[in-house]
């Protein structure tokens, strides 16, 4: 028996009634609080025995934090909640209010990785349930705070724009986290963003709950620090309460929730707790805490505190409470026996199903032909954004400088004026917040199209895409999705201008995020279809898409000669590119140049040089870099005796590695080579050319590849390879 279990039983036995107090309206709530807390405690206890038997996989518990049950009891079931990992009390309480779920069974399913787990389908231990409006969180502490702010912002934005969300108009967001986590820059950024919105009097109804047990694993929070840091957030009402004072707890929680709901402003509840039984089952806290200190926390056990008040007030006797406590134990043990009979999650296909991108039939074709005046890439994307915003009222465009200025490169020009400040807005200068707004608004039913000003500045906020956006469908078995299209201005070739941070050419971190769709635009003829394809994936399937736009090509007009206008195109308003669809340029049969982004421009220029030397190549624009358009790539390559992969990103970890490996995997029998940029940051000025892949290298590589051997036979009229 765990010492805290014994301590509780002994403690309750010793309680004495003081003679019945006058009945209070809180008595019912106190009673329910106790039952939720007891349920949570027994789930913690059984999690440890299951782990010891090798049949449970998670032991981070809620013991000592069960006072958070007050929030589950007093918030509404349809207030979306993004919770700390010690939220057993909250979960049990909300489930008891909802009355529609099987909380004990469901938590046990989660601990044992059962395929019947209603939230993650057995993929992970999370607190979440679609019917309880608890959105599952990752283990990355504080990473859910930007989404919580974005979601609270979205609730009021939805009201103002008439977009329907899954939640009522007066809903609020409950967001909890630990005291050590409050120091994380992600938490600090989100709290700052909430304060910024409060300062601007923009609705953001979120209650931040800091569950302060005074320690993060073994590192103590300096005495008074969490309160000092949280109390001074401008515009946020701060309240504090002790988790072992249940009566005050109920009233402070009720006040906090009511104020956020009424005023639509963020608030902070500083909930002082203890951590019982160490950080997790594997944590021997005696290594860093004295026995005296550990035992002192037993006296602040919130479950015992609830029992004490119930007995003191004469609402229940000590024996009755012990009966309820033991009944909760039996229920948990019975349910555990039942759940252990269930199948664990099975095949690889089942595991990856929520993040598998369904690729429609692959296609390969020349770029579509549009009508009207010739547009640059920036103009074509601008026109497509306008078209999509007009067609879909739930689309939002936001980022740094995208509104009145219309973006650093004019890509969002005119959208603010045409669609208004609610749908096209500037954010504060924090990429985590930009992505947090996307995460929250997407969850609420909007289709966010945030802009990241430069690729280098996505990297500082990447985990919001990797850890949050991309994992949501996975950890919720597809119950929750956050479809979005993150537009990123990026890549190099700006004639030495801007140095590394404005010429960043690293895409590797995006390509290895499971389920994330990465597309790279190149030419104004195909970019509209690509953007429409991304928005369709976000809207219809809830996919997380990143569309990288090559800055160097935004305003390019000509390809080979001044005035040729070959990097402009009339607007193609009919084309939607599905993932897996590629475009190609040229009819050459000597070699296939496989590329994307600026590589298309470089390769087509190289193709013109080669043509003058009587070498005829075709340029294939992959467009979709994750997942790669494997079928189209393999089929196209199969029609050529030589393939050169032209990759403007780095040699190590660059795109070419994946393309070449794909061709090798599929047994491509021809000659195969790659050219790429150097493993370097991009320097300022002409030195940029020393590290970036150049046209000459492409031309030389084609010659090397073809060598003196005969070339592929030329097809008859009409070219056998031209299909769509």
Binding window for Mg ion (CB under 5 A); candidates: 209-217, 467-475, 497-505, 610-618: 209-217
Which letter does DSSP use for residue 689 in this model? H
657 binds, among ligand TPP, Mg ion, none (CB under 5 to 8 A by kind): none
Alpha-carbon Rg for the chain, nearest whole angstrom, is: 29
Q: Is 181 in the site for ligand TPP (CB under 6 A)?
A: yes
The first and second tokens of residue 466, run together, are: 């990797």
Cβ of residue 466: shortest distance to Mg ion, in angstroms? 25
Cβ of residue 143: shortest distance to ligand TPP, in angstroms? 7
86 binds, among ligand TPP, Mg ion, none (CB under 5 to 8 A by kind): ligand TPP
66 vs 648 by CB, closer to ligand TPP:
66
Q: Is 178 in the site for ligand TPP (CB under 6 A)?
A: yes
Q: Which residue is nearest to ligand TPP (CB)?
A: 178
CB distance 41 to 63 below 8 Å:
yes
Q: Is 213 in the site for Mg ion (CB under 5 A)?
A: yes
CB distance 62 to 37 below 8 Å:
no
Residue position matching structure tokens 């008891």: 96
- The residues that are catalytic are 502
217 vs 286 by CB, closer to ligand TPP:
217
Cα atoms in the 13 Å half-sphere on the side-chain side of 547: 29
x/- binding map, residues 228-267, to ligand TPP, per CB under 6 A?
Answer: ----------------------------------------
Cβ of residue 225: shortest distance to Mg ion, in angstroms? 12
213 vs 427 by CB, closer to ligand TPP:
213
**Torsion angle (degrees, nearest 10) of CA 28, 34, 37, 38:** -130
Helices 318-339 and 103-111 meet at what angle, rounded to 10? 50
183 vs 251 by CB, closer to ligand TPP:
183
219 vs 248 by CB, closer to Mg ion:
219
Strand 219-220 and strand 237-242: pairing? unpaired
Total residues contacting Mg ion by CB under 5 A comes to 6
220 vs 418 by CB, closer to Mg ion:
220
Backbone angles phi, psi at 518, to 5 degrees: -115, 125
Tell me which H or E stretch contains 672: strand 671-677
**Torsion angle (degrees, nearest 10) of CA 538, 544, 550, 551:** 90
**Nearest-angstrom CA–CA distance, 495 and 497:** 5
Which residues are paired to 585 by β-bridges? 619
Closest C-alpha among 314, 334, 300 to residue 64: 300
**Quick count: other Cβ atoms within 10 Å of Cβ 574?**
12
**Nearest-angstrom CA–CA distance, 418 and 407:** 15
Instruction: Report the Cα–Cα distance between both ends of the chain, in Å, rounded.
Output: 69
Q: Which of 72, 128, 178, 203 binds Mg ion (CB under 5 A)?
A: 178
Cβ of residue 433: shortest distance to ligand TPP, in angstroms? 17
CB distance 84 to 104 below 8 Å:
no
Closest C-alpha among 40, 156, 56 to residue 422: 156
Q: DSSP letters along 130-174, please?
A: GGGTEE---SSTTTTHHHHHHHHHHHHHHHHHT---SS-TT--EE
Binding window for ligand TPP (CB under 6 A); candidates: 125-133, 136-144, 193-201, 296-304: 136-144
Cβ of residue 231: shortest distance to ligand TPP, in angstroms? 18
Cβ of residue 237: shortest distance to Mg ion, in angstroms? 23
Q: Is 180 in the site for ligand TPP (CB under 6 A)?
A: yes
Cα atoms in the 13 Å half-sphere on the side-chain side of 474: 23
The first and second tokens of residue 470, run together, are: 């991309």
Q: Is 139 in the site for ligand TPP (CB under 6 A)?
A: yes
82 vs 660 by CB, closer to ligand TPP:
82
Cβ of residue 175: shortest distance to ligand TPP, in angstroms? 13
CB distance 355 to 543 below 8 Å:
no
x/- binding map, residues 214-253, to Mg ion, per CB under 5 A?
Answer: -xx-------------------------------------
The first and second tokens of residue 139, run together, are: 């283990």
Binding window for ligand TPP (CB under 6 A); candidates: 30-38, 138-146, 251-259, 290-298: 138-146
Q: DSSP letters along 346-388, please?
A: --HHHHHGGG-----S-EEEPPP--EEEEE-HHHHHHHHHHHH
Cβ of residue 486: shortest distance to Mg ion, in angstroms? 33
290 binds, among Mg ion, ligand TPP, none (CB under 5 to 8 A by kind): none
39 vs 221 by CB, closer to Mg ion:
221
CB distance 137 to 176 below 8 Å:
no
CB distance 450 to 399 below 8 Å:
yes
Q: Which of residues 615-654 bind ligand TPP (CB under 6 A)?
A: none
x/- binding map, residues 36-75, to ligand TPP, per CB under 6 A?
Answer: ----------------------------------------
288 vs 681 by CB, closer to Mg ion:
288
Cβ of residue 120: shortest distance to ligand TPP, in angstroms? 17
Range list of H helices, 589-677: 598-612, 630-637, 655-665
Total residues contacting ligand TPP by CB under 6 A comes to 15
CB distance 172 to 152 below 8 Å:
yes
x/- binding map, residues 205-224, to ligand TPP, per CB under 6 A?
Answer: ------x-x-xxx-------
Cβ of residue 404: shortest distance to ligand TPP, in angstroms? 36
**Quick count: other Cβ atoms within 10 Å of Cβ 57?**
15
Q: Is 141 in the site for ligand TPP (CB under 6 A)?
A: yes
Q: Is 179 in the site for Mg ion (CB under 5 A)?
A: yes
x/- binding map, residues 68-107, to ligand TPP, per CB under 6 A?
Answer: ------------------x---------------------
Q: Is 125 in the site for ligand TPP (CB under 6 A)?
A: no
Closest C-alpha among 278, 262, 354, 682 to residue 498: 682
Q: DSSP letters along 55-103, please?
A: S-------TT-GGGHHHHHHS-TTS-EE--TT-HHHHHHHHHHH-SS-H
213 vs 376 by CB, closer to ligand TPP:
213
209 vs 701 by CB, closer to ligand TPP:
209
Q: Is 275 in the site for ligand TPP (CB under 6 A)?
A: yes
Interface ranges with ligand TPP (CB under 6 A): 86, 139-141, 178-181, 211, 213, 215-217, 275, 279
Interface ranges with Mg ion (CB under 5 A): 178-180, 213, 215-216
């Amino acid at each position: 028996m765990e010492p805290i279990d014994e301590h509780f039983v002994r403690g309750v036995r010793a309680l004495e009634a003081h003679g019945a107090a006058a009945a209070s309206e809180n008595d019912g709530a106190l009673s329910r609080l106790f039952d939720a807390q007891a349920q949570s405690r027994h789930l913690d206890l059984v999690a440890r025995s299951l782990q010891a038997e090798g049949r449970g996989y998670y032991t981070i518990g809620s013991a000592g934090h069960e006072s958070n049950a007050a929030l589950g009891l007093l918030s509404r079931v349809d207030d979306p909640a993004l919770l700390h990992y010690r939220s057993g009390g909250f979960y049990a309480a909300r489930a008891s209010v909802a009355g529609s779920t099987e909380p004990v069974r469901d938590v046990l399913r989660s601990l044992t990785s059962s395929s019947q787990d209603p939230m993650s389908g057995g993929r992970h231990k999370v607190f979440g349930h679609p019917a309880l409006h608890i959105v599952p969180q990752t283990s990355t502490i504080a990473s859910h705070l930007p989404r919580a702010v974005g979601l609270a912002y979205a609730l009021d934005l939805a009201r103002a724009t008439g977009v329907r969300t899954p939640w009522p108009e007066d809903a609020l967001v409950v967001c909890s986290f630990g005291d050590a986590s409050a120091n994380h820059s992600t938490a600090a950024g989100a709290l700052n963003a909430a304060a910024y919105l409060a300062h601007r009097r923009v609705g953001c109804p979120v209650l931040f709950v800091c569950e302060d047990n005074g320690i993060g694993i073994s590192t103590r929070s300096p005495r008074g620090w969490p309160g000092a840091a949280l109390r001074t957030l401008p515009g946020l009402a701060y309240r504090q309460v002790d988790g072992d004072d249940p009566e005050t707890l109920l009233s402070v929680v009720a006040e906090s929730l009511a104020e956020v709901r009424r005023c639509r402003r963020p608030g902070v509840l500083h909930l002082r707790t203890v951590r019982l039984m160490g950080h997790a089952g594997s944590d021997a806290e005696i290594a860093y805490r004295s026995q005296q200190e550990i035992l002192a926390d037993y006296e602040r056990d919130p479950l015992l505190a609830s029992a004490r008040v119930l007995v003191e007030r004469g609402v229940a006797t000590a024996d009755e409470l012990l009966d309820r406590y033991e009944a909760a134990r039996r229920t948990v043990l019975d349910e555990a026996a039942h759940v252990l009979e269930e199948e664990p999650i099975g095949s690889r296909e089942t595991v990856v199903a929520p993040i598998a991108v369904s690729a429609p039939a692959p296609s390969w074709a020349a770029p579509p032909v549009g009508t009207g005046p010739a547009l640059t890439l920036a103009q074509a994307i601008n026109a497509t954004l306008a078209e999509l915003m007009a067609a879909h009222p739930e689309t939002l465009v936001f980022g740094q400088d995208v509104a009145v200025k219309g973006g650093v490169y004019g890509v969002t020009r005119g959208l603010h004026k045409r669609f208004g400040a609610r749908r096209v807005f500037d954010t504060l200068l924090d990429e985590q917040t930009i992505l947090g707004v996307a995460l929250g608004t997407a969850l609420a039913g909007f289709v966010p199209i945030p802009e990241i000003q430069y690729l280098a500045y996505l990297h500082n906020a990447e985990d919001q895409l990797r850890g949050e956006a991309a994992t949501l469908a996975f950890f919720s078995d597809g119950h929750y999705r956050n479809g979005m299209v993150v537009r990123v201005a990026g890549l190099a070739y700006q004639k030495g201008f801007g140095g590394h941070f404005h010429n960043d050419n690293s895409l590797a971190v995006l390509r290895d995020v499971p389920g994330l769709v990465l597309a790279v635009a190149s030419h104004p003829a195909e970019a509209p279809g690509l953007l429409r394809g991304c928005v369709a994936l976000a809207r219809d399937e809830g996919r997380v898409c990143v569309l990288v736009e090559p800055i160097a090509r935004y305003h390019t007009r000509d390809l080979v000669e001044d005035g040729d206008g070959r990097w402009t195109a009339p607007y193609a308003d009919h084309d939607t590119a599905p993932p897996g669809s590629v475009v190609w340029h040229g009819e050459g049969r000597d070699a296939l140049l496989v590329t994307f982004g600026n590589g298309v421009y470089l390769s087509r220029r190289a193709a013109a040089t080669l043509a003058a030397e009587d070498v005829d190549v075709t340029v294939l624009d992959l467009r979709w870099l994750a997942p790669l358009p494997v079928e189209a790539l393999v089929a196209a390559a199969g029609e050529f005796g030589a393939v050169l992969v032209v990759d403007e990103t780095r040699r190590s970890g660059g795109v070419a590695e994946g393309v070449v490996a794909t061709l090798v995997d599929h047994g491509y029998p021809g000659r195969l080579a790659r050219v790429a940029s150097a493993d370097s940051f991009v320097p300022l000025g002409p030195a940029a050319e020393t590290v970036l892949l150049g046209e000459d290298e492409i031309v030389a590589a084609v010659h090397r590849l073809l060598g003196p051997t005969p070339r592929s036979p030329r097809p008859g009229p009409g070219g056998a390879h031209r299909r769509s």
